[in-house]
Amino acid sequence: MPKDTKKSIPKGSVSPSERPSRMARGAKMACEPSKAQVQQYLEKQVDFQTDCFELLRYHNIYPEIEWEDKDGPGTTATRWSEKAQLKLVNRLSFSETGKTQFPPPNTRLCDELVYLATKSLKFGERALWYPYDFNKNGDINPNRVPSGAAPIIWAHGLPFFPVYKGYYILCGREHAICIGWLINEYHRNVTKNHPVWSVGAVIAPESAARAPHTIDRQMRLHQPYGTDFNIRYRGKPVARDVVSADHHHCAVVPHLNRFIQVCPLWMFPGYNVRCGPMNAHAETTTVKRGFFVSKGLGDKYLSLVRPYANIFSDRPGESAESASKDTIDSGNPDDSSDNVKSQDLEAKEQGSDLAFALPAEI
């Protein structure tokens, strides 16, 4: 039977999300682009998937009961089986001012509420009120099975699943069967070297980006500063979303057909050197030509400079124009904005090698 955590933070350690940081941690990609590194990443990911699918099978033993307003707080749960059976809150609620209205204690949160809880609630509140979703340190429990839709974060023309502290992918229930929800071990050596929220390692497939969801954000800066302009996401500056700058490294796309696609970020269809759209009130991070030259990719740069548009397509060969998503500039003087709302895994093999897909060059 699962315990609260598979890998525990050493006793006496402080949750990194609650500790002030002098320097923002850089968001990391899935792996480096060499064939050996991709192979190593995929082998490691299969191990994480095995763990996740075992937890998912265990979780599916119990019926999923959705919480309703009339239910009130749940009963105190101490054993893991009791926590797993707490009623699920699968809808978001906001006050007239836009502030998140969190459900009562001893309920389970959908992925979008988990994302908001890490922004607004203290680590002790998260740990005490929602013992299934968060461990005693207030971090997302690595044994937590995703629920509901995933939040979608747009950057550089592509949709992403946010990654919490370098180990937990908020991918939603439907796409948990594709890749699992772990990308690294839950260990202090991992969490201390990653931002609270990273954007870049895991691209959301078209099936997730087009699925109904509430949280749909547009990033403009790699390293946000200050508090979030949008009250819905406002919290400690350390909990802001950070976009990776290592675009020569690989991202991963989990597909519903259970095929994992791994490729350098700049090669994905729709990639744009700009992090987000420009408007009269907001700047945007732009990857300079010098970066591509330094990585031996200078001849690719001009093909990646285009008017900004968000692209749904994650399939090589589909034109950006036919798959573009309109991006609404809010006029907010901020680095992010809300857009319009919009089984077992079997590793594919070629001989003895795990296969990975490389999109055609742009």
Give the per-residue pLDDT at 327: 55
Taken in order 186, 188, 193, 198, is the CA torsion positive or negative?
positive
- Model confidence at 340: pLDDT above 50: no
Give the per-residue pLDDT at 172: 95
The pLDDT tens digits for 1-33 are 454 444 443 333 334 334 434 445 789 999 988
Which residues lie across from 109 on neighbouring strands? 89
Question: Of 242, 239, 241, 244, which is closest to residue 287 (Cα–Cα)?
Answer: 244
Give the per-residue pLDDT at 319: 43
- Model confidence at 317: pLDDT above 60: no
Q: What is the CA radius of gyration of the chain?
A: 20
CB 243 within 8 A of CB 155: yes
CB 238 within 8 A of CB 17: yes
More confident residue, 189 or 327: 189
Q: What band does 260 get if pLDDT is binned at 50, 70 and 90? A: confident
The pLDDT tens digits for 262-280 are 999 999 999 999 999 987 6
Mean pLDDT, residues 191-203: 95
Q: How many residues are recorded in the chain?
A: 362
Mean pLDDT, residues 42-65: 90
Give the per-residue pLDDT at 313: 62
pTM (two decimals): 0.83
The pLDDT tens digits for 215-243 are 999 999 999 888 888 888 888 888 999 99
Question: Of 181, 184, 202, 182, which is closest to residue 194 (Cα–Cα)?
Answer: 184
Spatial separation of the C-alpha atoms in residues 16 and 192, rounded to whole Å: 6
Give the per-residue pLDDT at 150: 96
Ranking 114-123, 332-341, 345-354 by mean pLDDT, the lowest is 345-354
- Model confidence at 173: pLDDT above 90: yes
Question: Of 268, 269, 251, which is closest to residue 199 (Cα–Cα)?
Answer: 251
More confident residue, 318 or 90: 90
Mean pLDDT of the chain: 82
Spatial separation of the C-alpha atoms in residues 153 and 197, rounded to whole Å: 11
Measured CA distances, 164 to 17, 56, 114, 301 (Å) = 10, 19, 10, 31
High-pLDDT (> 90) share of the chain, %: 62
Question: Of 153, 186, 188, which is closest to residue 168 (Cα–Cα)?
Answer: 186
Spatial separation of the C-alpha atoms in residues 246 and 83, rounded to whole Å: 38
- Model confidence at 187: pLDDT above 70: yes
Question: Of 83, 76, 134, 82, which is closest to residue 105 (Cα–Cα)?
Answer: 76
